[in-house]
């Protein structure tokens, strides 16, 4: 199957991705680390724009790269809104940190005004995201399912729906792998190392971190199993 293979480049690839989606052209978006490893595997160590394009074309021809359905205009706008919110949250953190170091009254006043402005902008973006989600029947249904899980707030549901639109069409293992939460085995012969996680979508992991901590404490379905301690008499008799 013919398809376009490209690497994500932050804000620069979004217009390209939108154009492909409108034209109905299937595409595969490749992790840059994966593309670099492929180039090294076939013996290409140099890196230029022309070589990268050739390697991506060769990669698409040799590997069964999974194509993705194009994102709708609504999802693209939600993504843009979510990125703007994340940027504002970083600005808010920086302003709060500056607040503790300022001594001049003028700077304190300006910083307080900036914090108030940031809070208003964040609230406006969150309201716009929620409005768009409720305007879409499928997104609204999935949002309701996510927020029904103890520990998953509206903000976490925003991140999951926007950063992982495939959610709901994947099994548990695929979802964990896509988020970068599936343990990767390390074994060679008789040696068995500790499994670890890597790759995947960092925004999804960040969004799940605090809810996961809460769930392990208060959600009985996700709480780690308690290992019953052996009675003192049994331990003494076995010694």
Q: What is the pLDDT of residues 3-35, one digit of tens each?
A: 888 888 766 777 787 788 777 788 888 888 888
- Global pTM reads 0.70
More confident residue, 140 or 1: 140
pLDDT (0 to 100) of residue 10: 67
pLDDT (0 to 100) of residue 237: 45
Q: For the chain, give the mean pLDDT.
A: 82
Residue 156, pLDDT > 80, answer yes
> Radius of gyration of the chain from Cα atoms?
23
Confidence of residue 218 (pLDDT cuts 50, 70, 90): confident
Look at residues 78, 45, 49, 37 and name the one whose alpha carbon lies nearest to residue 161: 78
Q: Which two tokens stand for residue 37?
A: 């490893």
pLDDT (0 to 100) of residue 238: 44
> Across residues 148-177, what is the average pLDDT?
82
With H, G, I as helix, E, B as strand and everything else as coil, classify residue 188.
strand
Residue 53 to residue 239: CA distance in whole angstroms: 67
Of 171-175, 182-186, 192-196, 225-229, the range with the lowest mean pLDDT is 225-229
Confidence of residue 236 (pLDDT cuts 50, 70, 90): very low
Confidence of residue 120 (pLDDT cuts 50, 70, 90): very high
Residue 187, pLDDT > 80, answer no
Q: In the chain, where do the E strands start and end?
A: 4-6, 27-29, 187-188, 191-192
Q: Which of 24-28, 37-41, 140-144, 187-191 has the highest mean pLDDT?
A: 140-144
* pLDDT per residue as tens digits for the range 141-152: 999 998 988 778
């Amino acid at each position: 199957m013919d398809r376009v293979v490209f690497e994500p480049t932050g804000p620069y690839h979004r217009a390209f991705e939108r154009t492909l989606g409108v034209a109905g052209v299937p595409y595969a978006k490749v992790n840059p680390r994966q593309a670099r490893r492929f180039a090294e595997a076939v013996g290409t160590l140099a890196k230029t724009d022309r070589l990268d394009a050739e390697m991506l074309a060769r990669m698409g021809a040799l590997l069964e790269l999974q194509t993705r359905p194009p994102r709708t205009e609504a999802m693209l706008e939600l993504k843009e809104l979510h990125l703007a919110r994340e940027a504002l949250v970083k600005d808010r953190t920086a302003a709060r940190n500056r607040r503790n170091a300022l001594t001049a009254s003028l700077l304190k006043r300006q910083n307080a005004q900036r914090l108030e402005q940031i809070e208003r902008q964040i609230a406006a973006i969150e309201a716009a995201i929620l409005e768009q989600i409720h305007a879409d029947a499928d997104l609204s249904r999935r949002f309701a399912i996510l927020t029904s899980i103890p520990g998953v707030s509206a903000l976490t549901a925003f991140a999951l729906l926007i950063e992982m639109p495939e959610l709901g069409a994947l099994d548990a293992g695929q979802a964990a792998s896509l988020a970068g939460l599936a343990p990767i085995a390390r074994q060679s012969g008789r040696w068995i190392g500790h499994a670890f996680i890597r790759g995947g979508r960092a925004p999804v992991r960040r969004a799940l971190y605090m809810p996961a901590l809460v769930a392990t404490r208060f959600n009985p379905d996700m709480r780690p199993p308690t290992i019953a301690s052996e009675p003192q008499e049994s331990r003494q008799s076995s010694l």
